[in-house]
């Protein structure tokens, strides 16, 4: 993701700000409607428009040189407030979006379709209803600060339930604490970190998780992510869907709240590199370190990470990541983080703001400060929670999967819908130029009525707006793409 350099210039002759590095973009930010700039500059008049392009726009080169004009700062002070911080947040959101919606959407759809039959094997987790009402949930991440409060994890288990992640499970067991629910949303195969662990009572897996992650010996329960295609298919399957953020801890917190929990305690959520480390002791990756330069952070395992992502058809930048300084936990000194972790941080802050009806505690005792949470040491939190015996495990044990014929019916309906749309596309492609607009309108109408098939057919179609089909010049390529995608969907459903 791009490094940002912010320059202030009183005037802009044609050569000002033109990057000597061909990998750099040059933008101009000037909220004055009367500003005039030489040709070739990309000029933004509002911070909202600038951030929208950063978050959702097209290609941005490796480096961004943003030029601001001091003469307008006095006239438009509000537009310049925290300009660079807002931009960095925008780039963090952009990174998460491209790493999920764009780069990972295909693997998510493929996994979802491959995992559909599992709805007849494993129960839907959220059928448990308010199983966690009046029960605190400790969401345990793998941050290095877990070494500090890990010895108290067994006390946590006496006062609530412990949610772990594939990355943190080994560290939790390292401290002798059992895991009530192991959460997994990863498309990569991370089962090797947990397959041989004991003391894991149950696992919750998202239907978009890589199939290999289901190959573990634990009692399994499933849930679906939000998003039209996933959510609607899950409803047809008699299941439930869940909106969550871009990392596993967000899914764990959302699962807890959805099941009635009113006290969520975050542990091991450093979202930074405490002591130059990435993971807690016992995680199996405690050897991973980072080197921090003036402006960048580089993980010691970046080559291995890149190879793993590439093997799954995913992208990961191998270059050093831009360093971002953010406030530290408990009013401590600023800590260094990266754009991906900054996006996780902002999600937790928004979550805390939107769910003021719950008690959200950051008891990590290290790493970043998470706004809209209560910051307390774990020992202080435990002093406020009485010991209790949770019925969570018993409730889960009573759940049953849906009938296999229901799953088969949903697969049949998806197949039939894909075939109908494919046949209409064939008719449009074989139509005369005079008839094509009418068939194009019929294809558009079918897509609008069958969004489920359209979105599951192929990532490349799911990322297109239906309105794009109205453009006659682009009509045939889009119809051809939809037709090929429907054909591919039928084959995958048959498999």
What is the rounded distance in angstroms from the CA atom of residue 255 to the CA atom of residue 249?
A: 10
Phi first, then psi, for residue 383 (nearest 5°) are -65, -20
Written as six digits, the tokens of 73 are 């700062």
Backbone dihedral region for residue 232 (phi beyond 0: left; psi -120 to 50: alpha; all else: beta)? alpha
Q: How far, in Å, CA of 234 to CA of 228, rounded?
A: 10
pLDDT at position 306, please? 73
C-alpha 77/C-alpha 96 separation (Å) is: 30
Cα–Cα distance measured from residue 391 to residue 132, given in angstroms and rounded to the nearest whole number = 8
Pick from 210, 196, 211, 205: nearest CA to 224: 205
Structure token pair of residue 38: 């030489």
pLDDT tens-digit map of 95-135: 655 555 555 667 788 888 899 999 999 999 999 999 999 99
Contacts of 231 (CB under 8 A, 6+ apart): 224, 225, 241
Give the helix, strand, coil percentages of the chain, each rounded to 5: 45, 15, 40
Q: How far is 224 from 207, CA to CA, in rounded Å?
A: 5
Among candidates 424, 426, 417, 495, which has minimal Cα distance to 457? 417
Cβ contacts of residue 277 below 8 Å, gap of 6+? 144, 286, 288, 289, 290
Q: Is 279 helix (H, G, I), strand (E, B) or coil?
A: coil
Cα-only R_g, the chain: 25
β 290-292/296-299 pair status:
antiparallel
Residues with pLDDT less than 50, the chain: 1-5, 7-24, 61-62, 460-467, 469-470, 472-473
| Distance between CA atoms of residues 234 and 124, nearest Å | 10
pLDDT for the residue numbered 147: 97
pTM of the predicted model, to two decimals?
Answer: 0.79
Q: What is the pLDDT of residues 28-51, one digit of tens each?
A: 777 766 666 655 567 777 777 776
The number of angstroms, rounded, from the C-alpha of 448 to the middle of its chain's C-alpha atoms is 27
Q: Determine the Cα angle at 208 with ends 56 and 372, to 5°.
A: 60
> And the tokens for 333?
């000194």
Q: What pLDDT sits at residue 10?
A: 44
DSSP 320: P
């Amino acid at each position: 993701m791009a490094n940002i350099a912010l320059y202030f210039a009183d005037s802009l002759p044609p050569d000002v700000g033109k990057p000597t590095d061909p990998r750099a973009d040059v933008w101009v930010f000037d909220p004055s409607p009367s500003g005039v700039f030489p040709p070739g500059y990309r000029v933004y008049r509002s911070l909202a428009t600038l951030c929208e392009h950063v978050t959702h726009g097209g290609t941005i080169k490796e480096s961004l040189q943003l030029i601001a004009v001091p003469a307008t700062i006095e006239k438009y002070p509000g537009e310049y407030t925290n300009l660079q911080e807002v931009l960095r947040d925008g780039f963090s959101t952009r990174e998460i979006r491209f790493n999920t919606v764009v780069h990972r959407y295909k693997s998510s759809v493929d996994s979802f379709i491959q995992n559909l039959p599992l709805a007849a094997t494993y129960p839907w987790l959220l059928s448990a209803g308010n199983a966690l009402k009046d029960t605190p949930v400790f969401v345990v991440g793998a941050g290095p600060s877990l070494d500090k409060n890990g010895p108290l994890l067994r006390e946590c288990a006496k006062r609530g339930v412990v949610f772990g992640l594939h990355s943190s499970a080994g560290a939790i067991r390292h401290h002798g604490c059992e895991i009530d629910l192991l959460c997994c949303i990863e498309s990569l195969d991370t089962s090797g970190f947990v397959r041989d662990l004991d003391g894991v009572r149950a696992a919750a897996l998202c239907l978009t998780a890589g199939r290999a992650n289901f190959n573990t010996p634990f009692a399994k329960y499933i849930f679906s992510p939000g998003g039209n295609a996933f959510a609607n298919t899950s409803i047809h399957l008699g299941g439930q869907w869940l909106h969550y953020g871009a990392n596993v801890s967000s899914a764990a917190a959302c699962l807890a709240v959805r099941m009635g929990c009113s006290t969520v305690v975050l542990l091991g959520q450093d979202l930074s590199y405490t002591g130059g480390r990435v993971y807690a002791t016992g995680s199996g990756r405690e050897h991973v370190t980072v080197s921090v330069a003036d402006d960048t952070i580089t993980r010691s395992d970046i080559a291995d990470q890149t190879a793993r992502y590439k093997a799954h058809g995913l992208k990961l930048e191998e270059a050093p990541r831009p360093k971002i300084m953010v406030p530290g936990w408990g009013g401590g000194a600023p800590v260094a983080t990266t754009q991906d972790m900054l996006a996780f941080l902002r999600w937790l802050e928004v979550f805390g703001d939107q769910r003021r009806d719950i008690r959200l505690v950051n008891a990590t005792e290290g790493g970043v400060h998470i706004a809209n949470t209560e910051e307390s040491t774990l020992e202080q939190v435990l002093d406020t929670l009485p010991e209790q015996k949770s019925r969570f495990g018993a409730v889960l044990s009573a759940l049953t999967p849906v009938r296999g014929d229901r799953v088969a019916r949903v697969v049949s309906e998806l197949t039939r819908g894909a075939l109908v749309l494919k046949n209409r596309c064939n008719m449009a492609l074989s139509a005369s130029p005079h008839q094509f607009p009418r068939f194009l309108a019929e294809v558009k109408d079918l897509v609008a009525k069958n969004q489920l098939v359209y979105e599951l057919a192929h990532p490349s179609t799911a990322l297109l707006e239906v309105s794009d089909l109205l453009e006659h010049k682009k009509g045939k390529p889009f119809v051809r793409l939809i037709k090929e995608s429907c054909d591919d969907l039928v084959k995958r459903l048959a498999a």
